Every structure is written in C-alpha cells, then in structure tokens.
Amino acid sequence: MSNNKSPKLSRRKFIIGAAAGTTAVGLGLVSLSSCTNKPTWQELPKILGKTIQYDDFSDIYREIWKWDKVVKGTHTRANCISACSWDVYVKDGIAWREEQNAIYEPPRPDVPDMNPRGCQKGACYTSLQLSEARVTHPLKRVGERGGGGWKRISWDEALTEIADGLIDAAVDQGTESIIYDHGTTNAGYGPETAGDFRFASAMKTTTIDSWSGVGDMPMGACQTWGMYNCEGTSDDWFRSDYIVIWVGNPVYTRIPEVHNMHEARYKGAKLVVVAPDLSPSTVHADMWLNIKPETDAALGLACAQVMIEENLIKKDYILEQTDLPFLIRKDTQKFLRQSDLQADGVDNALYFWDEKTTKAVLAPGCEGDGDDGRSLDLGNYKPALSGNFQVKLADGKTVECYTVYDKLVKQLNSEYRPDQAAAITGLNPNLIRRFAREMAAAPRAMIFASWGACKHYHSDLFQRAMILLMSLTGNQGYPGGGVRVAAWWGLDGIDAMMADIGLTAMDQIKLIPKAIRGLTPRDFEDIYTTVSETEANTPLMPFLYVHAGYKEMWDQEHLQDSALPHNIAHYMRESIDNGWVKIHPAEGVQPKAFIFTGCNPLRRWPSSQIARDVFWPKLDLVVSVNFRMSTSSLYADYFLPIAAYYEKVGIKYGQSYVHYLICSDKATEPLGESKSDWECFGLLSKYVQNRAKERNIGPVEGFKGQTHDLTTVYDHHTENGYYNPEEPDDPIKLMDKVFENSPSVAANSGREALDMGAVRIIGPARPSLIYQNFSDYDPEDTHWPHRDFVEKKVAWPTLTGRQQFFIDHPWYIDAGEDMPVHKDPPHFNSKFPLRMNGGHNRWSIHAIWRDHKLLLRLQRGVPALFMNPKDCDPRDIKDGDTVRVHNNNGEFEAMVKVAPATAPGEVIIYHAWEPYQFKNWKGQQEPVEAPWKALHLAGGYGQIHYRMYYGSPGHAPRGAPVDVEKVSSLLEEKA
C-alpha cells in the first residue's frame, strides 16, 4: 500500500541513519478516510487510546462489514461467449465479491427469463484478479527468453525501450514487420480494446486475424451463406420443438444459456445430442446419437436422403431460398452461366428452369441478375426443382442441364442411404431414419453447432450438411429454427473504436447510389472487403505457414487431402499469386517485433513448439500486454501489466444470446502499477511518436510499401488530441461516442451505460465486420437470425443469392467438394490408434482461470485427459495414472481419468491448460499438427474470398492421431 508521501522512501528512514529510539510512522496504511477529521498517524494512537477495547480477534468481527460501493461489472475481455452483469462489492479499494445480477426482462411472457446470468468463473474473478499470478509492474526480461529472469522497470523505461524497438523494426523492415495479435474474438466494443486497435492502425502494423486461426470460423456457413452469423437470443431456443446439439457441449460452454434448452423440454420439445462421447450435455437429452468422430457429414447427408426420399421436405422454401433449382450443365458440371448463353454475358448470372415459360431464366437475386442481386422475389417464375432441360448456348450448341437438386439426389441415393451411412457413422440405420423423420416433422427444428464444429478438418462439410437439413425442412430464418453457431449485436457507434472507419472519401461517394436504393448484404460484404484491404490484416494460418516455420510441418504428405491433385504448397502459391490470401508482411520481409494482448500464442497455436523454436528467434522484440503471466508472456522480452476487468471501464463484446449489451464499470484502481489497455496503448503510441521525433526518424515503409510517418502516430491515435488516454475519464469519453451513435441500444452515454450495467437492445443496428445477422430486432420478441432473407426476400450474399450447396469453384470440383459430401480426414488411416479430441471446458475461459486454485479444486487439479476403459485396460492404465500422449510430432504427459463416457478410440483433453502446467512445459498442443484445408485459401468466386474476420483457413486440432502409454501410476507417485 502506498500513499502520496512515497512510503518507499519513508521506509528507508528505518535503515538510513535512524536510531532505534526514533519512531517513524506514516507508511503504507493511512488513517480511515471515513473519520470526520482525518487524524495523522501521530494523532491516531492518542485517539485510539480513548476508545479502544480489544480483548481478542473476535472483536474485529463485531463491526458490521459495510461496502463502500457496489458497481456493475463484467469480464470485458475474458473472451467468454456469454455476457453477464455482476454487482461488484467494493471496500477499502478492493473488489471482494461479485453477485449475479437479475435485471434482465424477458421480451415476452411466454419465454423463460434470463435471471440471473453468470457462471462459477465470473463468480470468483475477484479472487483471480488478486491472485499471485497477477503481475503488477512492468517487467523486462533478463537472460534467455523463457529462462525466468525478469526485473521490474518503470513505465517510462519500458515504453521508451519498446518504442525504440518498434521504430528499429519499422526502419529496418517497414511497419508491417511489427506483428500485433489480439487473439480471436477477444475484442470488446469499447475502450478496453480500442486502444490497441488504434495503436495498430496508427502504426500500420500487421494485424493477425486469428478468428479462423483458432478454428472458430464456420467455413461451411461462409461457403453456403456468404456469412456466418447465425444465432439469436438464447430464449429463442425455447421456441424450438426439436433441438439438436451437434458438435457442441453447451452444458459446459453456454452455462447462462443452456437452461432454455432444458426448459423447452417442459413444453414438449425434444432434445437430441449427436456426439461420440456421453458428454455432460447428453445426460439431459431425450436421444443420443453416439456417432463415430468426424463422420457427421455422412449422418447429415443420410438424413437428407431420407427426407427427400420420403418427401418430408418444404419445397416452396427450397425453391426460393436455396440454389437447388439452379441449372448445371451436364457437360461441364458447372452452373449454366450467362456467359454460356450470350457472347457478352457475365459469369455471375445464373439460371433456373421456369416451368411456366419452359425456359431457362436468369435467377433473380443472383450476383449478376442485372439488379445488383438484391431480391429473391420470384415474381411469376415457377422454378423447376428437378428435370432434364435442353439449353441453347451462344455458340449455337445445345447442352443438357439438370438441377442442383437432381445432382444432390443422385449423390444421396448412391452414397448416403442410411445403410451406407451406418457403415461410416456407426449408427443404426433405423436410428438415422428416425432422427431424420423427427427433425422433418417438428414444426420448428434447430441445430446448435458450437465453435467446436469448426475445429475438425472437414468441419465445413459438417456444416454444409447441417445447413442442408435446415433448408430442406424450411427452418433457417424462423424462430426456434435453423443452424445456430453464434452472432453478435451490432452497434453503430462502434466506429468510434477506430480513428477512422477505413473507407476513403471516394469509397464513400461510390456508396451513395447503393445507399439510396438500400444496401444489401452483398453490398455490405463489399464494404467489409474494402475496409479489410486498407490495413495489413493477415489470417493466422497462412501467416504461420509463411513466416513462422510451419511450412515444413504442413507440407508433409500425411497431412494432405488425398482427393486434391496437389500439395498445400501449390495452393498457397496460387492463392498468394492471385491475391486471394493476404500475407503481411510480404514474403521475404522479416517479422521483427511481436506485440500481443489478450491472447496466448504459445498455448494456443498448434504445435506451439514450432512457434517457440522457429518464429520467436526471428523476432528482435516480443511484448506481452496482460494482467497475468501466461506461457507466452514467460517467453516475452517485456511485460506490460494491464488493469484487471474490475479495474477499468469497458463494453463486453455483444454475443446475441441476451437482449442486452453488458458494460463494466471501474470498481477499483488498477493494482500496483498496472494501467488500463486504453492508457497503455495510448502511451505506446505517444512514446513512438516522441522517440521518432527525438531520433529524427524520417518516413518509413508502411502498409503495402507506402511511406508512413512515425512522428504522427499519437496524433492519429488520439484524433489530433481529441482523446488523451492519460486522463482518467478519457475511456468514458470514448464510450460516450459509442453510445451517442448507437440508436439500437437504450443508453445514450457512457456513464448511463455503466450505471445500467446491462443496456437493453431496442432495435436493429447496421451490419459490421463482425455483425451480419440480417434480422430485424423486435424488443417484444425473441431474436433469431436470417429473417430478412425469408421475410423480406433479401438475397443472400452468395454467388447464387441463395443458400448455396453447389460450389463450382475449380478447387472445390478437384477436391470432390462441389456438393456437400462426407470425406475422411487426412489422419483417418494414421498408424497412431487413438484420436485426441477436446473442447472448451467448464472450469476456465481459455487459459484464464485455468490455474486458479478455487477452480482446480473442482477437477483433478492437474492437466487430465479422459479415456475409455477399453483403451486403458490393454495399456495397463488405471485412473490417476500419468501417461505420455505422443505421435511423431510431439508429446506431453498428463493424468488419466478413466471414463466410460468417453468413446473408445478417443482421448479427450479439455481446452487450454497452460503448457507450464505440464512436465517440462510440454503442453497439449505439442502433438497437434492441426492440418487445414487448401480449399480455404480459395478466392475469386462469389462468397469464396477472404476479408478480415471472414473466410480463411482454420486449423483442425480435433482428431489428432496419438498413442498413449503409461508413465507412472498414482500409487507409485504417492510412494
């Protein structure tokens, strides 16, 4: 504890010169501020002498414990999917406890309310932020990286040295050689994140786009819909009649939301779980399909076969909302295009067969329909779903066409009948039929597929199959229906997070005509692509491939898709050359500096030993900005301590589960010398600018070879002084701007929002880079995705303008994935007999809380993996034994929990143990090669393209082939 009199210097009096008889008081503790006439230390003993009565320690407990204040808080950058408002109780400058708020009003009387919200992690954050893992002083590495040698330095020293390092990197290799990583969706909507965004933008750093890099990109949704936001409020789940949890475990991962699924059962809904293991979500299910891992697409397609064969499909919906009636040329096996029919025709104008006119007609809503592909309104057209059609081409030849639907049916009938799928999935064919029939018969069916459904090699195929089911049954776009992964709340004022919105004046002028006739989802996607290309955003996997030493691993033969004619190196080359994938810094430019906040690359990146051993040594400067010492931080050069969640203001990113945006007020001052993110990154920009001036640094190479002036970084960051990040109220000033410009929420200012804690959503917002749910918001209803498409007949942002199941991109055709199919992953025939899976766990949010003692008490207390007795017995493994998990790529040791709930052949290790929690710091990622699909590098085709936060390769950590051997038994260890 300190006071303004610098206790450190006062204390030294005891050592320097003072004689024993001298009493020096007035150090860290100060007299109670609540005393009317605040006594000095010298006066206090006399005052106490008049009143003090102390017999034993029970006396101190007689006083009623009174809180100094209670504020509304949350965990703004914990990267937890839920958003929960907490009352945070403060006394004597410490946040002691938090209590779930119960302030959420249900939108309508016939759905469950959301009170209270919160989980056991949130309920103990007060203790986590005071735990010994907290770092409270700027640190500088001494000795080797990762050697454990640190010393405290002042903020001034740290910022000066880091600024000089960043300037050196920029001078040497350009500003793109500075790599900034904020993790996956680990970004809030306010000052807790805006500081680092502004810093990166002002510096023109390379920004790692980790969204798909962590395996969180639903690529199947991107391929099918041209977008991936697909969720509503979780009370909308209650309106479903048939809820399928498919590659997810919401009992662990959606703690505040999952009750809606369970409560739906009380009104007659059926809850079905599709999972290899008897997951904790399964125990509440009415039916469990214990599928073989990674065969989910086969199950989905078999269900589609049953639905179509038994005519359980919604034909009107299919004709309007999907590409199934679109025509395919039989000779080329590609869409019939206008360029086929007319000499001056375009490639993105596509056709269906109109039964009324018996002609191929241009499909309204497709990208090249001549009206900007805006509407799905079929007018007088009556598309044929099936049939063979003769079409005359521009060159006079006649070709035969059939429909996507026919292609699908042919494929389903030949490869995915339930008997055939049974051999792949291990499920009884009758069970598959029953599942398909029940799903089709349900008035409203939904599939809850979590982010985990993006982490398998062929996750996109799973998702395409799932979306197919929801389309065939007419569920997508309706309450209680459709595939659900996630969505965010839009917030128009979020632009304030950046100093500029990324569009040039010319870009904005070009938008005016479109804005006048109404921007479509496809227009928005064009805007995002433009914005994305104004800065050095680069997707993580390609970055690691090009710059971080991963190429050697991922080029290996056993990690390739055998259906493709080439190695991934070939596709990478083609994608870079075509400008499809964005690589920053460019090939040949050396990354020089790495600054990361809110993420933990050496814990999270696959085979993180490669990053540590190959990428790290390339870097002259590694800076971690965090409130705790993560594994990655332990390998940094500098550590800048950041205020914990209750020590700063912020806006939690708004996942759409709850009808509110959750804000966090500042409960206490930052501990020790830590600072808010807003101040820290503001200072970093300031120091770069000042040091650049002091060192007479001229223009350096910036984004894409343009020159960049480092002497204006802080001016850009602060909008020429509009903000002053060192001012205590500056973050609220930013929040004011956010809320003043956000008519979709109930608060009009930052302070009002902070006092509310939970700010009601009251209307729709415009789409943004992360928000594209395309649904109106009605405050008196639940919320569900994709209403605009089915209610307003707005065209989907795909080539066809529809939910598109046929993708005739040449790479997709080569891979045999032009239609949804089941494919075995590359590791299918691996010699290693077990498959390692996992998922987010119940006891932490990624690595945060992972080593918290309170939560470790609820588990084994050490990294543990789950194995079936059938796999343990032949290996002589007993519960509690330590085993070595290994393959040719790496290994780690962990305790085994013998669990019959685990599928035979499967090893489950839940998410996010810190490598330092394992022997020799070898973490669970070491054996994980995590190959990824070359197809995800494709571009130049309608919805198949990259932009920031969309459409790039996610790695596939699931299903890693391993073997397990016993190292020691629990009894031996005890002995």
Partner 1 sequence: MNIPTKSTLSAKQRSFAYGLMAATFDYPDKEFTELIHNKQLSDQCKTILCDIYPALKEDIDWTLLTTQDDKETLQVEFSRLFDVGASGPPCPLNGGVYLEERMQTLEEMVRFYNYFGLTAGEDFEELPDHITTQLEFMHFLCHCEDEHQDDPEKANHFQRAQRDFINRHLGKWVPQLNDNVQENQAAPFYLTLIDMVTRYILLEKQYVNNLCGMITVN
Least separation in angstroms between residue 851's CB and partner 1 is 4
Q: Which residues pair with 1 in a beta bridge?
A: none
Q: Is 673 in the site for partner 1 (CB under 8 A)?
A: yes
Residue type, 612: R
Least separation in angstroms between residue 924's CB and partner 1 is 16
Applying CB under 8 A, which part among 11-19, 195-203, 275-283, 795-803 lies near partner 1?
11-19
The total of other beta-carbon atoms located within 10 Å of residue 283's CB is 11
What is the C-alpha separation between 970 and 678, in angstroms, rounded? 48
Long-range Cβ contacts of 718-723 (<8 Å, 24+ apart): 718/499, 718/682, 718/685, 719/499, 723/682
The burial of 501, by beta-carbon neighbours within 10 Å (0-12 exposed, 13-18 middle, 19 or more buried), is given as middle
Residue type, 343: A
Applying CB under 8 A, which part among 77-85, 126-134, 359-367, 649-657 lies near partner 1?
126-134
Least separation in angstroms between residue 77's CB and partner 1 is 20
Least separation in angstroms between residue 130's CB and partner 1 is 6
Q: Which residues pair with 834 in a beta bridge?
A: 962
Least separation in angstroms between residue 214's CB and partner 1 is 22
Applying CB under 8 A, which part among 40-48, 220-228, 797-805, 882-890 lies near partner 1?
40-48
The total of other beta-carbon atoms located within 10 Å of residue 26's CB is 15
Least separation in angstroms between residue 624's CB and partner 1 is 12
Q: Is 28 in the site for partner 1 (CB under 8 A)?
A: yes
User: CA nearest 244: which of 487, 482, 488, 473?
Assistant: 482
Rama region for 210: left / alpha / beta (φ>0; ψ in -120 to 50; rest)? alpha
Edge-first strand listing for the sheet containing 660-664: 650-651, 660-664, 758-760
For residues 637 to 656, the per-residue mask of contacts with partner 1, x marking binding by CB under 8 A and - elsewhere, is: --x-----------------
Least separation in angstroms between residue 128's CB and partner 1 is 10
Nearer to partner 1, 485 or 623 (CB): 623
The total of other beta-carbon atoms located within 10 Å of residue 514's CB is 17
Least separation in angstroms between residue 729's CB and partner 1 is 16
**Between residue 875 and residue 934, which ones bind partner 1 under the rule CB under 8 A?**
914, 916-917, 921
Nearer to partner 1, 18 or 423 (CB): 18
Q: Is 135 in the site for partner 1 (CB under 8 A)?
A: yes
**DSSP code, position 144:** S
Applying CB under 8 A, which part among 60-68, 69-77, 115-123, 569-577 lies near partner 1?
60-68
Q: Which residues contact 162 (CB under 8 A, 6 or more apart)?
A: 595, 621, 623, 638, 640, 684, 687
Q: Which of 149, 698, 833, 861: binder of partner 1 (CB under 8 A)?
A: 149
Q: Is 8 in the site for partner 1 (CB under 8 A)?
A: yes
**DSSP code, position 560:** S
For residues 836 to 865, the per-residue mask of contacts with partner 1, x marking binding by CB under 8 A and - elsewhere, is: ---------------x--------------
Least separation in angstroms between residue 184's CB and partner 1 is 23
Q: Is 669 in the site for partner 1 (CB under 8 A)?
A: yes
Q: Are 468 and 334 in contact (CB under 8 A)?
A: no
What is the C-alpha separation between 689 and 181, in angstroms, rounded? 21
User: CA nearest 441: which of 268, 301, 275, 260?
Assistant: 268
Give the three-state DSSP class for 847.
Answer: coil
Nearer to partner 1, 35 or 515 (CB): 35
- The backbone torsions φ and ψ at residue 512, rounded to the nearest 5 degrees and listed phi first, read -55, -50
Nearer to partner 1, 3 or 342 (CB): 3
Applying CB under 8 A, which part among 44-52, 183-191, 262-270, 373-381 lies near partner 1?
44-52
Least separation in angstroms between residue 785's CB and partner 1 is 40
Write out the two tokens for 932.
Answer: 């990824």
Q: Which of 116, 387, 426, 672: binder of partner 1 (CB under 8 A)?
A: 672
What is the C-alpha separation between 688 and 713, in angstroms, rounded? 7
Q: Is 18 in the site for partner 1 (CB under 8 A)?
A: yes
Q: Is 2 in the site for partner 1 (CB under 8 A)?
A: yes
Q: Is 47 in the site for partner 1 (CB under 8 A)?
A: yes
What is the C-alpha separation between 184 and 210, in angstroms, rounded? 5
What is the C-alpha separation between 611 and 926, in angstroms, rounded? 11
Radius of gyration of the chain (CA): 29
**Between residue 70 and residue 99, which ones bind partner 1 under the rule CB under 8 A?**
91-94, 96-97
Q: Is 23 in the site for partner 1 (CB under 8 A)?
A: yes
Q: Is 29 in the site for partner 1 (CB under 8 A)?
A: yes
Q: Which of 76, 206, 631, 775: binder of partner 1 (CB under 8 A)?
A: 631
- Count of residues of this chain found to bind partner 1 when the rule CB under 8 A is applied: 83
